[in-house]
Structure 1
Amino acid sequence: MTAPSHTDSSLPTTSSTSVFQAMFDAADAALLTLDANGVITLCNPAAQQLLGYPAAELCGRHPGCLLAAERLEQECRQLAQRLGRSVAEVEVFTAEVRPGHSLQREWPLLDKQGREHTVRLSVTAIAGVGPNSGYMLVLQDITELKRMQQLMHRQHALFAAGPMVAFSCHPARPDVLVEVSPNVADILGCFPEDILLEPAWWLQRLHPDDRPCLADGQWRLAQGAGFVTRRYRFLHGSGHWCWLEEYVQQLGSDVVQGYWIDVTKQVDGEDRLTKIASNIPGMLYQFSTNPDGAGHFSYVSEGVRSIFGVSPQQVMHNTDLVWQRVFPDDQQRVKEESEAALRYEQPWISEFRILLPDGRMIWVEGRATPELQDDQSVRWHGLISEITQRKRTEEALRESQERLDMAMRGARIGLWDWHVALGRLDYNQQLVDMLGYDQHTLHCNPAQWQALVHPDDLPTVRHNIRALLKREARQYRIEYRLIKRSGEIMWILDKGQATEVDGNGNVCRIVGTVQDITTHKQAQKLLESSEAHFRMLFQNHGAVMILIDPDSGQIVDANASAVRFYGYRRDELVGMPVSQINLMEEERIRGTMGVALLQAHNHFTFTHRLASGELRTVDVHSSPVESGGRTLLFSIIHDITARRQAEDALSTLQRQLLAIIENFHGAILLEDQNGSVVLVNQQYCEMFMPDQTPEQLKASSRLHVAAQASAGFAEPERMLQRLEELQRSRQMVLGEEWALRDGRMLERDHVPIFIEGRLRSVLWVYRDISSRKKQEEALRQLATTDALTGIANRRSFMEKLVDEFARFLRFGNPVAVLMLDIDHFKQVNDTWGHAVGDKVLHDFAALCQQEVRQVDVLGRLGGEEFAVILPGCGMAGALALAERLREAVRAHVVHVGEASLQIHTSIGVSCFSRQQQDAAVALALADQALYEAKLAGRDQVKAFDGNGQRFPPGD
C-alpha cells in the first residue's frame, strides 16, 4: 500500500528541484523557506530586495534576526505563556503553525540597514519526513498601506465634524476615489460605501459645463509646492447643484490626497459682490499676504480691466501683472505706504500712476483696510479707482493759482483775509512789503491795521466795514490813506467782500484786495491843482506818459519820454489809435479802457510795438482824469521787458533745478553759510528720516538734522566727528564711503560752494552703492575662487604665496608648502564620468579644508592638483598635517548612487629658505617630493627641505 501524496504542502522531489527553484526565484512575493528547526534555508530575490540581505547572509540564520531585540523578547514571552512552555522552547514564527494550515499576522521586521518594514507574514507548514519537513514564509510589505491607513484614520477623525471632506485616489486613476472621510454624508449627502463601490461616482456628478476640462482628473497630478486648487459645480445628494472648492496634491508616487469644501455660499456672495462691483467705478478686490510675504488675490472685480488692462482671471493666477503696471518711480513709495498702514493698523490710502499696455499713463487712488488673520496672514479689502481727471484739474488749479499770484505780484496788489469769528487777519507777502512791515508784526492782528489808517479816513473805513458786518452791503470799494512804517503816506484802493456767513446769518469771513494808487493820486492832485502844472509835469516827467480819449481810442497827448520810448515823432503819436501800438484786439482794448474809467482796475500788462517793430512788455497804470472839460485816460507806462524775461528765466531755472534735485538718484541736502538747511529732497528724508518731509527740514540747523540722520549709520559718533572736520576744513571731498546699520553702503560727496571767494553754501550728496559693492565683491570672488571647489584658484594662490614669501624674508617665521595630487584620478573620470570626477574633487577640497587651520591657504592649481601654504609651520608640523590629510582622504568614501568608491592622495612637502630666489622654488620642491611619492607607489608623503635635501635625512 502506498501512502497518499500531498503535493501542495510537501517539499519538492529531487527531480523537480530545478523547476521549484525557478518558480521560487521568479515569484513577485518575498519568500523564505525554513527547516524543521526554524532556520532559513532558501531566500528568493524579492525577499533579498525587501530585507536588504544577500541570500548568503540570510541562509543558516534564524528569522528572529529580522525582529528588534525587545520585540522578539516580548513575542517569545507572550507565546510561551499562551502555550504553557518555557521561553527557550518556543519559536515565534512556527510554534503555532499546524501542518496543512497557514498562520497570518503582521510583524515589524528590520532590514539590513535597520529600517523598519511592516509586513503581512503568512507561515505554512510543509509536510515531510525528517529533514524534508519545514515551513514556507510569504512576506508582503504593507508599510505604506499601514501609513496611509493611519493617515486616513487620523484624517477621518479630524474631518468627522469639520467643514471639509478628505479623499484620496491613485495616480493611475485620479478620477476614481479609493478613500473618503465619513463626513461626506453630512456635507455632500452621499454615503462613503456608495462612493467607493461606484468608480464613476465623481465623474457622474460633475456639472456638464465643467466635465470636459476636469473629467479625466489628470489636473490632480500637477507637481509643485503646495496644493493644486480647482472650483467647480457638483450635484449634491439632495439633487441640487453646489459649488465645491478642491485642494489636491500628490504624495509620493502612489497616492493623491485632497479636500473638498462646499463654497456655495461664498460663490453666491461673490456673485452678489460682482453685481455690486459692476456699478462701482474702479476695481474692488480682496488680497491676502502670507507671513512669508507671498500674496494672492482671492477676489477681483471686472474693473481691473479698465484700471490695469488685464482680466480678473489673469490677475487671480499671476498677481505680478498688477504690480508690473505701477509706474516704476511710484513702486517704492506705494510699498512703503502699505507697510506703514499695516504697521500702524491704519487704512492704506495712496495715489500713484499706472502704465497701460497701450502706453497711456493714468492716475489712480488706492484705498484698502488691512485685517490680521489668526494664522498671521493679512487680508486687504480695497478699492482702486481712476483719478486722472481729478489730478489734471488739481494741476490746472495749481497752475491757475500760480498765474494769479504772479499777476498780483506784477500788479502790486495785496491780499487780506479776515476771519471775523477767530479775530484773525492774514496778509500776503505783497501787502506786507507794500507797507514796509514784517510778516510777524501784521499777522493775526486786526487792530494793527486800523492803527495804520490815516485818522481823517478812519471813520469812512469803519463805516464800510460795519455795513458788511451788518449785511447792509455785500462789498465795498473805498480809497483812503495808510501810514507806512517809514512814516510816508500811501494812498490805497481797498475792495472788500463778505465771503462766508454762518448758520445764524452772521458774517464770519471777509476777503479783500489792496492796490497802491499813490502815484495815481499824486498825479490826480497835480492835475486838479493846475492844468499848467500838470502839463509841465506831464511833459518833463521821466516816466512814459500818454493821454488817451476813451471814446475814440486815440492818443491825445504824449510826453517826451513817450516819444523817445516809442520812436515816433510827437505829431505822429498824437492822433494815433492806441491799437496801433497795443497788440491786443481792439475790442479788448476798449474793454480795458472801460474798466479803467470805472476805476474797477487800473493796472494792466500789455505788449506794445515800437516804431522799429520791436515788441516790448509794459506795465500800464491807467486812471481817468479831467482835462479840458472832458474825461481822459492818463496812462503811465513802465517797460518791464527785461524784468519779465529775467523772471521767466529765473522761474524756469528754479523749476528745472527743483526737478533735477527731486529726480536725482540720491539724497541731497544744501545748507547755507550759517549751517541752516536751505534745500533737501525727498530721497534724503526716505533714506535717513522717513517720518519727516523736506518742508519740515527747511531752515533747520544742519547739526540738528545730522544728529537725527546719524542714528541710521553704523558709526554715528565717527560720522558726526567727520562732519565737523569737513565744516572746519571746507575742502571738497568726493566718494567717501559710509556703512549704515541695516548693512547698506553709502557714498558721500561734500561740496563747498564759493561765490566771489566767499562761502555761500555747502552741498551734501549721498548715494546708495550697496549693489555696486556687492557686484565688486562678487567679481572679486569670481577672480580669486575656484568655481568647482570654492577654494582659492591658481592665480589667487600664487599671489598669496608671493606675499607669504615676502613676509618670510622680512620676519623669518617658518612657512611650509604642500603639494597634493589625487591618485589615479584619470581612472575615476574614465570609469565613472566627469560628473563623479567633479564630486570627488569637491569632496577632496572639503576634506582638506576641514583639516587645515584657518590661517592656512588651500588652493587648486589645476585638474586634480592642490596646494597648501602653512604660515608659521615647520617641516615637522607640515609632515604631521600631511599624514592627517592622507589618512582623512583614505578613510573617506564617495557615494555614487547605490555604489561607492575610495580615493587616495600623494603629498609632497617643502618649506621656504633664505637661499631660495623666489616663492616658486619651494612650490617646485614640494612638487618634486610629490613626484617621488607617486614613484614610490602613491598614497604616501615625501618631503624636501628648503635647500633641496630629503627630509628627514636618509629617507
Structure 2
Amino acid sequence: MDENNPLQSDALANLRDVIIFSLDSQYRYTSFTPSHKDVMKSIWGAETAVGMNMLDCIAREDDRRKAKQNFDRALAGEILILEEEYGDEKGHIRAWWEDRYAPIYDKRGGIVGLTVVAIDITNRKRIEERTRFLAFVIDRVSSAIIATDTNLRVNYWNESAERLYGWSESEALGRDIDEICGTVFVEGQHELARQILTIEKTWRGELKQRHRNGAEIWVDASVTLFEDGWRGVIGGVTINHDVTERKLAEDELRRTKESIEQINLTLRRAFEREQLVSRTDSLTGAFNRRYFFELLDYEFSASRRYERPLSLVMFDVDFLKKINDTWGHLTGDEILIETVKAVRAELRDSDVLARYGGDEFVILLSNSGKQDALIVLNRIHHRIQSTFIKAGGKKLGITISAGIASVQPEMDKPERLIVQADRALYAAKNSGRNRLAVFDGEEDMS
C-alpha cells in the first residue's frame, strides 16, 4: 500500500464494490483506492500507477472517448452522476458503474483535477434485467394471481402463487389471505390503502409478505375490487410481482452509499483538520508565517494584475521580553492571545492576520491603500490600548508599535512590501513605542 496515497486507507481497501480515484487536469492519476487498481486489471488488463494517464489504460476506443468527455465536463466544473458500462470484452469483462464525477478545487477556487467515486452496480443491473424479463413473463403468464371474497377468504390461487408463497392451491383455498401471506404495509400505509380502495376500487403498492418457510418476500401488488350491479363489492383480485431481489439490491446499495458518505465525511474532516493545523499558529490561532507568504504572493500578484491597492501592516507587542522576564512566559502568551483577539475584532473576513515570528505579526489588507490601512490600524491601536490582562493581582495593559506600507507602481516583488513595512515599524519603535508609522520613502516616515 502506498503511504502517500490518501485513498489507500484500511476502510477504503475493504470496499470491494466501490472504487475511488482522482486525476489532475491532464487525466493523470493523483490517487486511487486498491479496489480501483484491481478493477482496472480485471476489466482492461491494465496496470495503474500514480502519474499515469488514465486514458492510456482504457483499451476500448468508445469507452476511452466516453471517459474523456466525462472527465472534461468535471474539469469544467460540472458534478455528474451517471450509470455507465465499461470494460474489454476480449478476454476480460464489462461492468456497470454508478459514477459520480466532481471537480477538485485549489484554495484559490481554481479547478486542478477531478475525483470519481464509482459503485459497481453490475449485479443490480443484472437484477433489473432479470426483473424486466420476469415482468414480461408475469404480465402474460406467471403473475401470482389471488382472488378473495369480501371476507378476504381465498377463492382463487394460481400456480405462480404456489411458487411464490409455497402453499398449494388446495391448502390456500378458503383461508384468510393475510394468514397465508402475513402482509405488512410499508410505513403503516394500511389505512391509506383501505381509503383508496374504498374510493377508487384499485390500489397499487409494495408489500412485505411471508413465504411458507418464514422467509421475507417483497411484492409489487396491484389490487382491484369487483362489484356487481346490486350487491356492491363482491371480492377482489390481487396480482403480485416478486420484487424481493430488487429490494435487497436497493438495501445493499443504500448501505454502500451510506458507507461512502461516512468515508467521505471522515476524509473531509481529516483534510480540514490537516489544513487548519498546517496553516495556523498553535498559540494564537493566527495564520502562520509559511501560509502568510503563500497569501502574500497571491494578493501581490492580484494587486499588480488588476491595479488594485494592497497594504501591509507589521506590528509587535511592546516590551514583551520584559513582560516575560517579569511575569513569566505564560503571561506573555496570554498577552499575545488577547492581542490577536483584539486585532481580529477590527478586521474584515478578507483581511489576513499572521504571526510573523515571536512577538511580531503582519496584517494583509486587500483593496486598501495607505489611508484605508491607517484608519484600520488606528481602530486596532485604540482597541488594544483598552485591553488588559491580570497578572500577580495587577492589571497589565497592552500596547503595540506598528508600521504600514502599500504597494507602489514600481514595486516588482512582494518582499519589497515587507521591507518597507519593517522599516516603518522600526521607525515607530524608535519614536518611543506605542506608535504608528507609515512608509513614505526610503528615509521619510511619519
What TM bracket, shorter-length normalisation? 0.3 to 0.5
TM-score by length of 2: 0.45
| Higher relative contact order, structure no. (Cα contacts within 8 Å, ≥ 6 residues apart) | 2
Question: Larger radius of gyration, structure 1 or 2?
Answer: 1
